[in-house]
Amino acid sequence: MVAVDSATAQEAQPPEEAPQTGASGAEPVTGTQDASAEDAAATSEDNPDKLPPIEVTQPAVKEPAQGETAEESAPQVAAVRPAPSRSRSYTGTGGTEGLAGLGESDGQDTGDGTGESAWGPVDGFVATRTASGMKTDTPIIEVPQSVSVITADRIEQLGANTLPEALGYTAGVRPSTYGSDSRYDWLSIRGFDAYYPGIYFDGLFARNNNTWAAWKVEPYGAERIEVLKGPSSVLYGQMNPGGTVNVITKRPTEETFYEAGVQIGNFGRVQPFFDFGGPATESNKVLYRVTGLGLKTDTQVENVSVDTLYFAPALTLKPTTDTTLTILAHYLERETGVMSNFLPPEGMILPNKNGRISPSFHSGDPNFDSFEPTQKAVSYFLEHQVNETWQLRQNARYGMIDLEYDSLYGTGLDPFDPTQRLMGRRAFFSDENVDQFVIDNQAEANFFTGPIEHTMLFGVDYQWNHFDQTSGDGLSTPIDMFSPSYGGLFRRPPLFNDSDTDLTQTGLYAQEQAKLWDRLVLVAGGRYDWAEVKIDDHLFGTNSEQKDEAFSWRTGAVYVTPSGFAPYVSYSTSFLPVSGFDPFTGNPFDPETGQQYEAASSFSPPAARA
């Protein structure tokens, strides 16, 4: 990208300390201005020829390394915007109106002096508040659990085009677990797979069934991406013990802004994008935002391209000063092939008499290689401030995924070929439809008893998920890895799965955050879940039903010192139902459970909290 953003003196922000080279190879050269608006004005009077600072970013164009996609290597080459500050007035779930800057606020302050909201934008790379760790708008330093926040500015600085790229520098997260993949956001958190049972969008579960229809994240549509590490069933119900990802979607702001641009790169990459919004009325009672992106590119793998269309409108209604309704929707359509070739070690890391296999080799065939998911969702976030103590919230989402998937994949060297040129292949297909409804009802109370500040949360949530799956797998013809021939005729293989699955969960939870003497924070919470799985197997004509119940809890303590260090200790648990029956007893498998003891320390410089 070659972009020049000019800003007024009032918008000047202190420089962030961060890596100066992102995933795209860009090396920014930045001029910054630390002076206040008054100082800047005085400087202009003393030296009228002195211009405001500008920022120029020039990417280094490079070919992708082996296993790297065109998405990972593409530079931004053009962008046009008025460079509004990210310190925009914002209204979101939690009843907090404020700005996500580090020094100014037009709305209701959150109490930590930053004006930042846990659901809103952050000016720079350092977030100070989170909702993922408590389901309340809480300073990160007061959460007795590890939370990482990747802001929109950080995502842009990294040049991240996928969720794994955005989380590439996040402690405890292993991105791209199985290498570059144009289909999925493979992740592991603290050694546990984070692909299943799913991630969260705006605090609402986006579940999958551990199959091939899974929710995809478009980083350009994210205001922030939060990683909550460790067991957290006390807030969210069933999940694995490693942790989870919560993506906060871009929401309307009270400041009019617009952004538009295009990325171009090697492999014929073209990616236009836009983001604009602001007040729809003079009273600021109706706010809107529209975000969109398109992508068309080839990849380093022959015959594999990526086409993406993303569109996300948002609307906020504020009929009264105590009531806010935000509606978010998104549409994500993708057409790609399979880059994961499952190549044999001979010719890659082991010798092959024919040499090395080309990085551009494609083990599939363009006549039978497509991964085409369409993802749609609409959510609403309703909040009402009853009085100075009580606030009510209801968050809900309905979403759908439709997937058509055909591919050929490698199975290693053909055992009947002494020349080591041929690789065996299998054919695979899967047609899937996902319907999902999630709702979370919350009541939050904020009050004092003597020197103790209380934040109490009570909630009940429900989720319903329906998965319709038809999948098949079978032997196919081998392919010459050193002189491949494409364009064959392939048929879909025999079925191995034809089923409908319904997953439901209902949970009741309560949590107390008690803050004593403005230093010691005590946290305790409990939750009880009822989960049910129903499977209708059309292939074998059988039906099965499994029910599980579980109690999850968490307790912890944080002490925030004047120096900015905040040592904490905590204990938390998780549970995850496991489908299937014990072949020896005939009883359903018990849920997978996890527990964690954690002792650590957070640090936030006092200047950042001032």
Predicted confidence (pLDDT) per residue in 241-292, tens digit: 999 999 999 999 999 999 999 999 999 999 999 999 999 999 999 999 999 9
Number of other CB atoms surrounding residue 282 within 10 Å = 7
Please determine, for residue 99, whether its predicted confidence score (pLDDT) is greater than 80.
no
What confidence tier does 585 reach under pLDDT thresholds 50, 70, 90? confident
Residue 607 pLDDT: 61
Q: What percent of the chain has pLDDT above 90?
A: 66
Please determine, for residue 348, whether its predicted confidence score (pLDDT) is greater than 80.
yes
Task: Work out the average pLDDT over 127-144.
Answer: 92
Burial grade of 283 (CB within 10 A; 0-12, 13-18, 19 or more)? exposed
Predicted confidence (pLDDT) per residue in 484-505, tens digit: 999 888 999 999 999 999 999 9
Q: Which residue has the higher pLDDT, 441 or 124?
A: 441
Please determine, for residue 526, whether its predicted confidence score (pLDDT) is greater than 90.
yes
Please determine, for residue 59, whether its predicted confidence score (pLDDT) is greater than 80.
no
Residue 297 pLDDT: 94
Q: Computed from CA positions of residues 263, 256, 149, 564, in that sequence, does the dihedral angle turn out positive or negative?
A: positive
Q: Could you tell me which residues are beta bridge partners of residue 555? A: 524, 571
Spatial separation of the C-alpha atoms in residues 113 and 606, rounded to whole Å: 11
Domain parsing of the chain, residue ranges: 1-60, 61-501+598-609
Residue 268 pLDDT: 92
Spatial separation of the C-alpha atoms in residues 337 and 96, rounded to whole Å: 44
Please determine, for residue 167, whether its predicted confidence score (pLDDT) is greater than 70.
yes
Could you give the 3-state DSSP secondary structure of residue 486?
A: coil
Residue 2 pLDDT: 34
Residue 608 pLDDT: 53
Spatial separation of the C-alpha atoms in residues 7 and 84, rounded to whole Å: 8
pTM for the complete prediction? 0.80
198-201 vs 243-249, strand pairing mode: parallel
Predicted confidence (pLDDT) per residue in 418-437, tens digit: 999 999 999 999 999 999 99
Residue 103 pLDDT: 28
Mean pLDDT of the chain: 83
Burial per residue of 293-332, b for 16 or more beta-carbon CB atoms within 10 angstroms, e otherwise: bbbebebbbbbbbbebebbbbbbbbbeeeeebebbbbbeb
- Angstrom CA distances, 415 to 311, 333, 342, 526, stand at 48, 40, 16, 56
Residue 591 pLDDT: 86
Q: Which residue has the higher pLDDT, 330 or 602?
A: 330
Q: Which residue has the higher pLDDT, 53 or 325?
A: 325
Of 90-94, 217-221, 377-381, least confident by mean pLDDT is 90-94
Nearest to 221 by CA among 270, 294, 167, 172: 294
Please determine, for residue 510, whether its predicted confidence score (pLDDT) is greater than 70.
yes
Q: Which residue has the higher pLDDT, 433 or 2?
A: 433
Q: Could you tell me which residues are beta bridge partners of residue 379? A: 328, 397
Nearest to 61 by CA among 219, 267, 300, 218: 267
Task: Work out the average pLDDT over 521-546.
Answer: 93
What confidence tier does 515 reach under pLDDT thresholds 50, 70, 90? very high
Torsion of CA 91, 310, 301, 341, to 10 degrees: 80
Burial grade of 113 (CB within 10 A; 0-12, 13-18, 19 or more)? middle
The one-letter code for the residue type at 273 is F
Q: Is domain 61-501+598-609 classified as CATH 2.40.170?
A: yes
Spatial separation of the C-alpha atoms in residues 255 and 306, rounded to whole Å: 34
Burial grade of 552 (CB within 10 A; 0-12, 13-18, 19 or more)? buried
Number of other CB atoms surrounding residue 338 within 10 Å = 24
